[in-house]
């Protein structure tokens, strides 16, 4: 068994507090209407301020709350709070319940569809905000949002969550995706921690079981993306491509559940996902993890996207702590080095959206309807958390 020098790895806490969140504090706060402006160019200039999206608004609430908890400036709590205020005032559908997918800059409903993915992020951000900053209204809203997911999106016959409903809760997509289930599981873990309650664990196990039993391609032991309502693989949508980022994220979440549940199936599945990425998705020449690749073959989409790297960091680090295999430690060091060397913008701060295979910046935007501070914040939080485990240090 190899023992790595954990204290030799970069602890990303200071990086988050000095190079990532200050970018958003300077450029992402909507001083006029509240909430956050997330469509930002490399230098922080606004590229689009017409709409606000549930996913990025909730992600920013979480990010500033986490920043405060990690020792950031106390005023970041106000930046998180004003985002929460905007979220609770404008994104909730007071007529039909649930959360709108997007609103105008000032808060009028724009896309009124109800998507499970967005509700999962609302649950996650509200639960984390409540846990980190102590806010009873946020916790109550998180608990209620999970009840909405369970009532409106959970499939009682086949298990798991469907993808979407219209505003009045008529299902519009009864299919299933790995991505939505990953964030549902993430939300449940956050809600369980925020409430210090085991009441959510039956559904934690239910979602983890679906990932481990329904979403695995048996021959190659990797995760698949899309499924029909009856849980048969949606072959046409998957197009034979494997999403390395979701395989890493699924492995990480299964290992987190296993830390509590001690289920061999979760460890076995997580190991399969991680080893698949090590075999086909990691770049041993330039560093980092590629985006996608055909089943059982080397990566074909070879750009390096920011969020894929952030999923790799806690996944490989926790895998090393669980399995004590040097290849997971080496993979973590590979990816963290690539991120700090190529994805981080030394001039303006934050991370680029993506790079070319060799690490040359490809898309330099810092924010969009999907990109905010959440992915980097979460990765830095858990890297700091895992490196701080005194029992694991040599």
pLDDT computed for residue 393 by the predictor: 44
> Which residues lie closer than 8 Å to 144 by C-beta, 6 or more apart?
none
Mean pLDDT across 40-53: 98
User: Any alpha helices (H) in the chain, and if so which ranges?
Assistant: 13-15, 21-27, 54-69, 76-86, 116-133, 136-148, 178-195, 201-214, 235-238, 244-261, 264-280, 306-323, 326-338, 374-387
In this structure, is residue 1 part of a structural domain? no
Mean pLDDT across 43-55: 98
| Domain of residue 88, CATH code | 1.50.10.10
In this structure, is residue 75 part of a structural domain? yes
The residue among 284, 175, 208, 289 whose CA lies nearest residue 243 is: 289
CA distance 198 to 175: 28
Q: Taking the mean position of all CA atoms in its chain, how far away is CA 6?
A: 24
In this structure, is residue 253 part of a structural domain? yes
In this structure, is residue 274 part of a structural domain? yes
Is the pLDDT score of 390 beyond 50? no
In this structure, is residue 195 part of a structural domain? yes
pLDDT digits (tens, 9 = 90+) for 357-377: 999 999 999 999 999 999 999
CA distance 14 to 20: 9
Question: Domain range spanning residue 350?
Answer: 6-392
Share of the chain above pLDDT 70, in %: 98
Mean pLDDT across 1-5: 60
CB 66 within 8 A of CB 376: no
User: How many domains are contained in the chain?
Assistant: 1
Helices 244-261 and 201-214 meet at what angle, rounded to 10? 130
pLDDT digits (tens, 9 = 90+) for 203-231: 999 999 999 999 999 999 999 999 999 99
pLDDT digits (tens, 9 = 90+) for 264-276: 999 999 999 999 9
pLDDT digits (tens, 9 = 90+) for 135-190: 999 999 999 999 999 999 999 999 999 999 999 999 999 999 999 999 999 999 99
Is the pLDDT score of 198 beyond 50? yes
What is the rounded end-to-end Cα distance, in angstroms, of the chain? 13
Q: How is residue 311 written in tokens?
A: 């999923």
Model confidence at 389, in pLDDT bands (50, 70, 90)? confident
Mean pLDDT across 118-141: 98
Is the pLDDT score of 54 beyond 50? yes
Task: Give the chain's radius of gyration (CA, Å).
Answer: 20
Q: What is the pTM of this model?
A: 0.96
CA distance 46 to 39: 6
pLDDT digits (tens, 9 = 90+) for 300-343: 999 999 999 999 999 999 999 999 999 999 999 999 999 999 99
pLDDT computed for residue 109 by the predictor: 98
Is the pLDDT score of 31 beyond 90? yes
Is the pLDDT score of 71 beyond 60? yes
pLDDT computed for residue 1 by the predictor: 43
> Which residues lie closer than 8 Å to 210 by C-beta, 6 or more apart?
159, 160, 181
Average pLDDT, the chain: 96
pLDDT digits (tens, 9 = 90+) for 277-299: 999 999 999 999 999 999 999 99
pLDDT computed for residue 3 by the predictor: 60
CA distance 246 to 312: 10
pLDDT computed for residue 394 by the predictor: 39
pLDDT digits (tens, 9 = 90+) for 7-29: 788 899 999 999 999 999 999 99
Report the SS3 class of residue 275: helix
């Amino acid at each position: 068994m190899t023992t790595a020098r954990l204290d030799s790895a970069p602890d990303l806490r200071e990086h988050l507090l000095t190079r990532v969140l200050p970018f958003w504090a300077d450029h992402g706060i909507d001083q006029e209407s509240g909430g956050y402006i997330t469509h930002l160019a490399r230098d922080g200039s606004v590229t689009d301020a017409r709409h606000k999206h549930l996913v990025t608004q909730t992600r920013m609430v979480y990010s500033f709350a986490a920043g405060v908890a990690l020792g950031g400036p106390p005023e970041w709590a106000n930046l998180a709070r004003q985002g929460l205020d905007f979220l609770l005032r404008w994104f909730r559908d007071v007529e039909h319940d649930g959360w709108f997918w997007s609103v105008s800059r000032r808060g009028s409903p724009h896309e009124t569809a109800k998507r499970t993915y967005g509700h999962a992020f609302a649950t996650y951000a509200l639960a984390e905000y409540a846990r980190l900053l102590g806010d009873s209204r946020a916790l109550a809203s998180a608990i209620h949002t999970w009840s909405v997911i369970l009532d409106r999106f959970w499939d009682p016959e086949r298990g798991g969550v469907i993808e979407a409903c219209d505003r009045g809760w008529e299902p519009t997509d009864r299919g299933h995706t790995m991505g939505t289930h990953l964030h549902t599981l993430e939300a449940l873990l956050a809600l369980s921690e925020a409430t210090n309650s085991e009441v959510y664990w039956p559904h934690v196990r239910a979602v983890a079981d679906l990932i481990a039993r329904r979403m695995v391609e048996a021959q190659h032991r990797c995760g698949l993306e899309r499924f029909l309502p009856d849980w048969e693989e949606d072959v046409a949508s998957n197009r034979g491509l494997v999403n390395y980022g979701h395989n890493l994220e699924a492995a990480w979440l299964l290992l987190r559940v296993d830390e509590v549940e001690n289920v061999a199936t979760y460890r076995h599945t997580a190991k399969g996902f991680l080893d698949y990425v090590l075999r086909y998705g990691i770049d041993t020449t330039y560093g980092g993890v590629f985006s996608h690749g055909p089943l059982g073959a080397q990566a074909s989409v070879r750009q390096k996207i920011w969020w894929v790297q952030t999923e790799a960091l806690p996944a490989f680090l926790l895998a090393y702590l669980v399995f004590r295999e040097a290849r997971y430690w080496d993979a973590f060091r590979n990816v963290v080095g690539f991120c700090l060397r190529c994805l981080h913008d030394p001039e303006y701060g934050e991370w680029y959206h993506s790079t070319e295979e060799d690490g040359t910046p490809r898309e330099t935007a810092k924010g969009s309807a999907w990109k905010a501070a959440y992915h980097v914040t979460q990765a830095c939080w858990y890297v700091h958390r895992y490196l701080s485990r005194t029992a694991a240090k040599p």
